[in-house]
């Protein structure tokens, strides 16, 4: 009981400290940061638009894995739900927006177990495709032998995982005779040991590519020596950092990653802060734009629309 009380106290304090630190730095360097925003306004707006597409593809990927018909109205509903959940994640740690997601799916007669299963499945495929792109980038985009070797190892892992999953699945199917366990296996584990056809996972590659493009455009707009291969790896690092979102929407953590990379590439402290804040603006702005666009579409589109994609 005491541990729960300490947890309830600790998280608001941590959140408050993170917000206070960000607020202090922004206020202290507000003039320089405003100049950075003004100078790079076009890239900020472009990043917001691209981020809106990123959120929309994420939502569509979820809908695909859920096995629901790809009706335009259904896609818009899921995009609105998805972006609303993303914005609500700013209200607390450990992604409180999941409540919105599960609540919407429950209203669509999708069970909590099914919702959780598809969510985990989406994370699994996102990391698998991200690992493939990052490892390929390390092999192609870098001359360092050490980085290339690491990339080759990670590429082998990413390619072997589907075969390993298939081997485990086939072994279980061959050996299991118990009816109760067989039912549990097909209802709870089977999907995690299968790789969807390329027609369902290619959008995960597009999703990572859009994120990499946003990262590339922002850094290159600061005249930095930054390649698309750097962007893929940076994108995967920030994605990995969201695996356990202790801070609301990973605030502070992602800023640290983006800012530190900027400083490594030669930017000063204020420019690094400006870069980190540009990515946060793109995230919030992209989610808000996708939410607004899907809401307007649902407002204008008749409920009995049966137009397929």
DSSP string, 63-113: HHHHT---BHHHHHHHHHHHHHHHHHGGGSSS-TTHHHHHHHHHHTT--HH
C-beta neighbour count of 32 within 10 angstroms: 15
Q: Yes or no: say if 266 and 153 are a contact pair by the CB < 8 Å rule.
A: no
Q: Yes or no: say if 84 and 289 are a contact pair by the CB < 8 Å rule.
A: no
The model's pLDDT over 131-160, given as tens digits with 9 standing for 90+, comes to: 999 999 999 999 899 999 999 999 999 888
Token pair listed for 152: 């080759």
Query: Per-residue pLDDT for the chain (309 aa), expressed as one digit of tens each?
Result: 455 566 566 666 776 777 787 788 888 888 999 999 999 999 999 999 999 999 999 999 888 888 766 677 888 999 999 999 999 988 777 778 888 888 888 888 888 777 888 888 888 888 889 999 999 999 999 989 999 999 999 999 988 888 887 777 777 777 766 666 656 555 566 565 666 655 667 889 999 999 999 999 999 999 998 999 999 999 998 888 877 667 777 777 888 889 889 898 888 888 999 999 999 999 999 999 999 999 999 888 766 544 444
């Amino acid at each position: 009981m005491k541990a729960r009380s300490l947890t309830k106290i600790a998280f608001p304090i941590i959140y408050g400290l993170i917000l206070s630190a960000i607020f202090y730095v922004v206020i202290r360097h507000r003039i320089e940061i405003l100049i950075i925003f003004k100078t790079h306004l076009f890239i900020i707006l472009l990043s917001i638009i691209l981020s809106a597409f990123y959120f929309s593809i994420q939502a569509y990927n979820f809908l695909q894995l859920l096995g629901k018909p790809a009706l335009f109205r259904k896609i818009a509903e899921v995009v609105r739900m998805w972006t609303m959940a993303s914005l609500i994640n700013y209200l607390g740690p450990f992604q409180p927006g999941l409540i919105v997601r599960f609540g919407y799916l429950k209203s669509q007669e999708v069970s909590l177990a099914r919702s959780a299963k598809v969510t985990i499945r989406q994370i699994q495929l996102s990391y698998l495709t991200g690992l493939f792109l990052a490892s390929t980038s390390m092999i192609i985009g870098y001359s360092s032998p050490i980085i290339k070797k690491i990339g080759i190892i990670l590429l082998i892992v990413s390619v072997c995982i589907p075969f390993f999953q298939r081997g485990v699945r086939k072994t279980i199917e061959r050996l299991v005779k118990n009816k109760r366990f067989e039912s549990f296996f097909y209802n709870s584990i089977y999907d995690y040991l299968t790789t969807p056809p390329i027609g369902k996972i290619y959008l995960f590659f597009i999703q990572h590519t859009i994120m990499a493009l946003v990262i590339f455009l922002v850094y290159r707009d600061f005249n930095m020596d930054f390649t698309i291969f750097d962007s893929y790896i940076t994108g995967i690092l920030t994605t990995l950092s969201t695996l356990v979102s202790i801070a609301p929407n990973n605030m502070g953590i992602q800023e640290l990653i983006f800012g530190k990379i900027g400083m490594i590439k030669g930017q000063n402290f204020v420019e690094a802060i400006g870069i980190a804040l540009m990515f946060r603006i793109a995230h919030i702005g992209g989610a808000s734009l996708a939410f607004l666009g899907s809401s307007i579409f649902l407002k204008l589109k008749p409920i009995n629309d049966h137009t397929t994609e």
